[in-house]
A and B are shown apart, each in its own frame.
Chain A
Amino acid sequence: EVQLVESGGGLVQPGGSLRFSCAASGFTFSSYWMSWVRQAPGKGLEWVANIKQDGSEKNYVDSVKGRFTISRDNAQNSLYLQMNSVRAEDTAVYYCARHGDWSFDFWGRGTLVTVSS
Protein backbone atom coordinates (compact mmCIF):
# COMPACT_ATOMS: atom_id res chain seq x y z
CA GLU A 1 0.00 0.00 0.00
CA VAL A 2 1.38 3.37 -1.02
CA GLN A 3 1.86 5.65 1.97
CA LEU A 4 3.16 9.20 2.19
CA VAL A 5 3.52 10.68 5.67
CA GLU A 6 4.56 14.30 6.16
CA SER A 7 6.11 15.55 9.36
CA GLY A 8 8.00 18.53 10.75
CA GLY A 9 5.60 21.38 10.13
CA GLY A 10 4.95 23.97 12.79
CA LEU A 11 5.12 27.63 13.73
CA VAL A 12 7.87 29.77 12.21
CA GLN A 13 8.45 33.50 12.41
CA PRO A 14 8.40 35.71 9.32
CA GLY A 15 11.83 35.68 7.74
CA GLY A 16 12.69 32.41 9.43
CA SER A 17 13.41 28.91 8.16
CA LEU A 18 11.82 25.50 8.43
CA ARG A 19 12.58 22.10 6.96
CA PHE A 20 10.02 19.33 6.85
CA SER A 21 9.87 15.88 5.36
CA CYS A 22 7.73 13.19 3.76
CA ALA A 23 8.35 9.50 4.42
CA ALA A 24 7.37 7.23 1.53
CA SER A 25 6.58 3.52 1.64
CA GLY A 26 4.80 0.85 -0.36
CA PHE A 27 6.44 1.69 -3.70
CA THR A 28 9.86 2.14 -5.27
CA PHE A 29 10.44 5.75 -4.25
CA SER A 30 13.48 6.22 -6.47
CA SER A 31 11.37 5.55 -9.59
CA TYR A 32 9.04 8.51 -9.26
CA TRP A 33 9.03 12.26 -9.64
CA MET A 34 7.70 13.82 -6.41
CA SER A 35 6.03 17.15 -5.67
CA TRP A 36 5.03 19.43 -2.83
CA VAL A 37 1.57 20.98 -3.12
CA ARG A 38 0.22 23.49 -0.60
CA GLN A 39 -3.20 24.71 0.49
CA ALA A 40 -3.61 27.94 2.41
CA PRO A 41 -6.44 27.95 5.00
CA GLY A 42 -9.78 27.98 3.20
CA LYS A 43 -8.09 28.27 -0.20
CA GLY A 44 -7.33 26.09 -3.18
CA LEU A 45 -4.40 23.88 -4.08
CA GLU A 46 -1.13 25.34 -5.34
CA TRP A 47 1.74 23.32 -6.84
CA VAL A 48 4.98 24.39 -5.15
CA ALA A 49 7.87 22.30 -6.43
CA ASN A 50 8.87 18.97 -7.90
CA ILE A 51 12.00 16.84 -8.18
CA LYS A 52 13.15 14.20 -10.63
CA GLN A 53 13.78 10.61 -9.61
CA ASP A 54 17.54 11.07 -9.09
CA GLY A 55 17.28 14.64 -7.78
CA SER A 56 19.03 16.07 -10.84
CA GLU A 57 16.14 18.31 -11.84
CA LYS A 58 14.07 20.58 -9.64
CA ASN A 59 11.30 23.01 -10.57
CA TYR A 60 9.51 25.68 -8.52
CA VAL A 61 6.51 27.97 -8.71
CA ASP A 62 7.71 31.54 -9.20
CA SER A 63 6.54 32.71 -5.76
CA VAL A 64 8.96 30.42 -3.89
CA LYS A 65 11.90 30.37 -6.30
CA GLY A 66 15.09 31.33 -4.50
CA ARG A 67 13.51 30.81 -1.06
CA PHE A 68 12.48 27.13 -1.03
CA THR A 69 14.58 24.06 -1.86
CA ILE A 70 13.18 20.63 -2.60
CA SER A 71 15.40 17.60 -2.08
CA ARG A 72 15.20 13.85 -1.64
CA ASP A 73 17.11 10.95 -0.13
CA ASN A 74 16.32 7.79 -2.07
CA ALA A 75 18.21 5.62 0.42
CA GLN A 76 15.87 6.86 3.15
CA ASN A 77 12.75 7.01 0.93
CA SER A 78 12.28 10.60 1.99
CA LEU A 79 11.33 13.91 0.40
CA TYR A 80 12.16 17.27 1.94
CA LEU A 81 11.26 20.94 1.61
CA GLN A 82 13.57 23.60 3.04
CA MET A 83 11.77 26.91 3.47
CA ASN A 84 13.82 30.09 3.97
CA SER A 85 12.79 33.74 4.25
CA VAL A 86 9.24 32.65 4.93
CA ARG A 87 6.31 35.04 4.61
CA ALA A 88 2.79 35.09 6.03
CA GLU A 89 1.47 33.97 2.65
CA ASP A 90 3.45 30.73 2.97
CA THR A 91 1.07 29.63 5.74
CA ALA A 92 -0.57 26.45 4.45
CA VAL A 93 -0.95 22.71 4.72
CA TYR A 94 1.88 21.23 2.69
CA TYR A 95 1.13 17.94 0.92
CA CYS A 96 3.64 15.49 -0.44
CA ALA A 97 2.39 13.97 -3.72
CA ARG A 98 3.65 11.26 -6.05
CA HIS A 99 3.63 11.85 -9.80
CA GLY A 100 1.63 9.22 -11.68
CA ASP A 101 0.64 9.31 -15.34
CA TRP A 102 0.85 13.10 -15.81
CA SER A 103 -1.02 13.56 -12.56
CA PHE A 104 -0.58 13.36 -8.79
CA ASP A 105 -1.74 9.85 -8.02
CA PHE A 106 -1.06 9.55 -4.29
CA TRP A 107 -1.06 12.21 -1.59
CA GLY A 108 -0.03 12.39 2.04
CA ARG A 109 -2.26 13.86 4.74
CA GLY A 110 -0.24 17.05 4.90
CA THR A 111 1.66 19.04 7.49
CA LEU A 112 0.61 22.51 8.65
CA VAL A 113 3.09 25.36 8.45
CA THR A 114 2.10 28.60 10.16
CA VAL A 115 4.13 31.76 9.60
CA SER A 116 3.44 34.22 12.38
CA SER A 117 5.22 36.30 14.96
Chain B
Amino acid sequence: QSALTQPPSASGSPGQSVTISCTGTSSDVGGYNYVSWYQQHPGKAPKLMIFGVSKRPSGVPDRFSGSKSGNTASLTVSGLQAEDEADYYCSSFAGSKKWVFGEGTKLTV
Protein backbone atom coordinates (compact mmCIF):
# COMPACT_ATOMS: atom_id res chain seq x y z
CA GLN B 1 0.00 0.00 0.00
CA SER B 2 1.99 2.99 -1.25
CA ALA B 3 0.90 6.54 -0.48
CA LEU B 4 -0.80 8.44 -3.27
CA THR B 5 1.42 11.06 -4.94
CA GLN B 6 0.66 14.73 -4.33
CA PRO B 7 2.81 17.81 -4.98
CA PRO B 8 4.42 18.98 -1.73
CA SER B 9 3.23 22.53 -2.22
CA ALA B 10 0.86 24.75 -4.18
CA SER B 11 0.14 28.45 -4.03
CA GLY B 12 -2.11 31.17 -5.35
CA SER B 13 -3.16 34.73 -4.68
CA PRO B 14 -6.51 35.65 -3.13
CA GLY B 15 -9.26 35.30 -5.72
CA GLN B 16 -7.26 32.99 -7.97
CA SER B 17 -7.80 29.27 -8.54
CA VAL B 18 -5.42 26.44 -7.73
CA THR B 19 -5.56 22.73 -8.56
CA ILE B 20 -3.91 19.97 -6.52
CA SER B 21 -3.32 16.58 -8.12
CA CYS B 22 -3.38 13.14 -6.53
CA THR B 23 -1.92 10.23 -8.51
CA GLY B 24 -2.40 6.59 -7.67
CA THR B 25 -2.81 3.36 -9.57
CA SER B 26 -5.55 1.27 -11.12
CA SER B 27 -5.77 -0.52 -7.75
CA ASP B 28 -6.91 2.58 -5.90
CA VAL B 29 -7.70 5.96 -7.53
CA GLY B 30 -8.23 4.52 -11.00
CA GLY B 31 -10.22 1.53 -9.84
CA TYR B 32 -12.91 3.18 -7.74
CA ASN B 33 -14.88 6.42 -7.62
CA TYR B 34 -14.13 6.64 -3.91
CA VAL B 35 -11.63 9.52 -3.76
CA SER B 36 -12.01 12.01 -0.95
CA TRP B 37 -10.14 15.17 0.05
CA TYR B 38 -9.35 16.55 3.51
CA GLN B 39 -8.29 19.96 4.75
CA GLN B 40 -6.06 20.19 7.81
CA HIS B 41 -5.08 23.40 9.55
CA PRO B 42 -2.02 23.30 11.83
CA GLY B 43 -2.70 21.45 15.05
CA LYS B 44 -6.25 20.57 14.00
CA ALA B 45 -8.04 17.41 12.94
CA PRO B 46 -8.62 16.80 9.23
CA LYS B 47 -11.93 17.97 7.76
CA LEU B 48 -13.74 16.24 4.89
CA MET B 49 -14.04 18.57 1.88
CA ILE B 50 -14.89 16.25 -1.04
CA PHE B 51 -16.12 12.63 -1.19
CA GLY B 52 -17.02 10.32 -4.02
CA VAL B 53 -14.58 12.18 -6.30
CA SER B 54 -16.71 15.30 -6.67
CA LYS B 55 -19.40 15.52 -3.97
CA ARG B 56 -19.34 18.22 -1.31
CA PRO B 57 -20.54 17.61 2.25
CA SER B 58 -23.05 20.05 3.63
CA GLY B 59 -21.35 23.27 4.69
CA VAL B 60 -18.34 23.05 2.36
CA PRO B 61 -18.23 26.07 0.03
CA ASP B 62 -18.81 25.42 -3.67
CA ARG B 63 -15.42 27.00 -4.29
CA PHE B 64 -14.08 23.50 -3.64
CA SER B 65 -14.53 20.97 -6.45
CA GLY B 66 -13.13 17.56 -7.31
CA SER B 67 -12.61 15.50 -10.43
CA LYS B 68 -10.83 12.38 -11.66
CA SER B 69 -9.27 11.17 -14.88
CA GLY B 70 -7.75 7.72 -15.00
CA ASN B 71 -5.39 7.22 -12.05
CA THR B 72 -5.26 10.92 -11.15
CA ALA B 73 -7.75 12.87 -9.04
CA SER B 74 -7.75 16.62 -8.62
CA LEU B 75 -9.00 19.18 -6.12
CA THR B 76 -9.65 22.71 -7.39
CA VAL B 77 -10.08 25.64 -5.04
CA SER B 78 -11.55 28.67 -6.79
CA GLY B 79 -11.70 32.22 -5.47
CA LEU B 80 -8.89 31.54 -3.00
CA GLN B 81 -9.35 33.00 0.46
CA ALA B 82 -6.85 33.38 3.26
CA GLU B 83 -8.59 30.72 5.34
CA ASP B 84 -8.00 28.15 2.59
CA GLU B 85 -4.31 28.10 3.53
CA ALA B 86 -3.84 24.61 4.97
CA ASP B 87 -2.57 21.12 4.20
CA TYR B 88 -4.71 19.05 1.84
CA TYR B 89 -4.76 15.26 1.65
CA CYS B 90 -6.44 12.98 -0.85
CA SER B 91 -7.58 9.49 0.04
CA SER B 92 -8.84 6.52 -1.95
CA PHE B 93 -10.39 3.16 -1.30
CA ALA B 94 -7.75 0.58 -2.19
CA GLY B 95 -9.79 -2.61 -2.27
CA SER B 96 -10.13 -5.33 0.37
CA LYS B 97 -11.71 -2.80 2.77
CA LYS B 98 -8.40 -0.88 2.96
CA TRP B 99 -7.65 2.79 2.42
CA VAL B 100 -4.69 4.89 1.34
CA PHE B 101 -3.89 8.58 1.78
CA GLY B 102 -1.84 10.99 -0.29
CA GLU B 103 1.42 12.51 0.90
CA GLY B 104 -0.23 15.88 1.44
CA THR B 105 0.03 19.30 -0.22
CA LYS B 106 0.67 22.54 1.64
CA LEU B 107 -1.47 25.27 0.06
CA THR B 108 -0.20 28.82 0.53
CA VAL B 109 -2.49 31.75 -0.18
B64 at the interface (CB under 8 A from A): no
- Chain A residues whose CB sits within 8 angstroms of the CB of B57 once the complex forms: 100, 105
Closest B residue to A57 using CB positions = B97
A103 at the interface (CB under 8 A from B): yes
The answer for the CA separation of A104 and B45 in the assembled complex, in Å, is 12
B69 at the interface (CB under 8 A from A): no
CB distance from B28 to the nearest CB of A (A): 11
Closest B residue to A43 using CB positions = B104
Partner of B89, one of A44, A62, A109: A44
Pair B46/A59 contact, Cβ less than 8 Å: no
Closest B residue to A96 using CB positions = B45
CB distance from B97 to the nearest CB of A (A): 4
The answer for the CA separation of A46 and B97 in the assembled complex, in Å, is 15
A45 at the interface (CB under 8 A from B): yes
Using known A-B contacts A45-B38, A45-B89, determine if residue A103 contacts B101 with beta carbons closer than 8 Å: no
Pair B96/A45 contact, Cβ less than 8 Å: no
Contact with A along B37-51 (1 / 0, CB 8 A): 010100011111001
Question: Can you give 6 contacting A-B residue pairs, CB < 8 Å?
Answer: A46-B101, A50-B99, A61-B1, A95-B45, A105-B51, A110-B45
Q: Which residues of B contact A (CB under 8 A)?
A: 1, 3, 32, 34, 36, 38, 40, 44-48, 51-52, 55, 57, 89, 91, 93, 96-104
